[in-house]
């Protein structure tokens, strides 16, 4: 029997992405933003071997992160490891295809993501430049709205997919008071 990871990377559909996403969200040790920030810092410092080593340590909990694969692939390219760079590019593209398959970025069909860098990676791949962002409360909980320079608004949610609802609703801004 194939693992859900193998199934996803063999066929990076929205449905397969959501299956792996559900598994990642159930890991006892959840992804922490500072883990990816460490990889980004190492990349900025041109410590490419360390980037590759740290990226490997973050798997599987960061296994659906396009940014992790982008940084790892660029580091591999700098190290002249073309095969590893191509593999990371494939994994990067699969993650973005999976995210795109979860919705269309509208209020009723937001993209379902895990990592804070996912909206930026997806919009960059789509050729969109981010102009602003805000948080709102939707029927499934907090959602991130990202506005592109052309005025379009893209919806992303970090909530578990089993909370997905198809009802109509009006987004309400989230209060940041008391935090």
Q: What phi-psi label fits residue 47: left (phi over 0), alpha (psi between -120 and 50 degrees) or beta?
A: beta
Choice between 89 and 141, residue whose per-residue pLDDT is larger = 89
Residues 66, 20 within the same domain = yes
Return all residues near 141 (Cβ < 8 A) that are at least 6 apart.
Answer: 157, 159, 163
User: How many CB atoms are located within 10 Å of the residue 170 CB?
Assistant: 7
Return all residues near 61 (Cβ < 8 A) that are at least 6 apart.
Answer: 24, 27, 29, 30, 31
Can you give the pLDDT at residue 158? 84
Whole-number mean pLDDT of the chain?
88
SS3 176: coil
Residues 39, 82 within the same domain = yes
- Which of 47, 65, 100 marks a domain boundary? 100
For tokens 């693992």, the residue is: 3
pTM of the complete model: 0.86
| Torsion angle in degrees (nearest 10) through CA of 31, 35, 37, 42 | -150
Is 86 inside any structural domain? yes
Residues 96, 16 within the same domain = yes
| Torsion angle in degrees (nearest 10) through CA of 5, 11, 12, 17 | -50
Structure tokens at 179: 């935090």
Does the pLDDT at position 162 exceed 70?
A: no
CATH code (residue 169): 3.30.720
Q: What tens digit of pLDDT does each residue of 27-56 get? A: 888 888 899 999 999 999 999 999 999 999
- Distance between CA atoms of residues 164 and 49, nearest Å: 40
Structure tokens at 119: 């909206």
Q: Give me the domain span that covers residue 63.
A: 4-100
Can you give the pLDDT at residue 170? 41
Choice between 172 and 160, residue whose per-residue pLDDT is larger = 160
Residues 86, 10 within the same domain = yes
Residues 30, 117 within the same domain = no
Structure tokens at 176: 């940041």
- Distance between CA atoms of residues 101 and 71, nearest Å: 23
For tokens 């959840």, the residue is: 30
Element (H, E) at 141: strand 141-148
Q: What tens digit of pLDDT does each residue of 65-122 get? A: 999 999 999 999 999 999 999 999 999 999 999 999 999 999 889 999 999 999 999 9
């Amino acid at each position: 029997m194939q693992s859900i990871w193998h199934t996803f990377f063999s066929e990076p559909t929205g449905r397969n992405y959501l299956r792996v996403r559900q598994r990642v969200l159930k890991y006892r040790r959840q992804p922490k933003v500072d883990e990816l920030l460490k990889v980004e810092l190492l990349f900025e410092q041109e410590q490419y071997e360390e980037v590759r080593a740290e990226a490997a340590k973050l798997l599987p909990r960061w296994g659906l992160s396009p940014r992790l694969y982008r940084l790892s692939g660029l580091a591999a390219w700098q190290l002249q490891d073309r095969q590893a760079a191509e593999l990371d590019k494939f994994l990067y593209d699969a993650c973005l295809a999976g995210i795109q398959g979860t919705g269309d970025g509208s209020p009723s069909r937001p993209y379902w993501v895990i990592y804070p860098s996912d909206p930026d990676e997806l919009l960059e791949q789509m050729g969109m430049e981010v102009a602003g962002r805000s948080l709102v409360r939707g029927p499934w909980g907090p959602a991130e709205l990202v506005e592109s320079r052309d005025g379009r608004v893209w919806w992303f949610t970090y909530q578990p997919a089993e909370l997905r609802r198809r009802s109509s609703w009006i987004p309400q801004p989230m209060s940041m008071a008391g935090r």
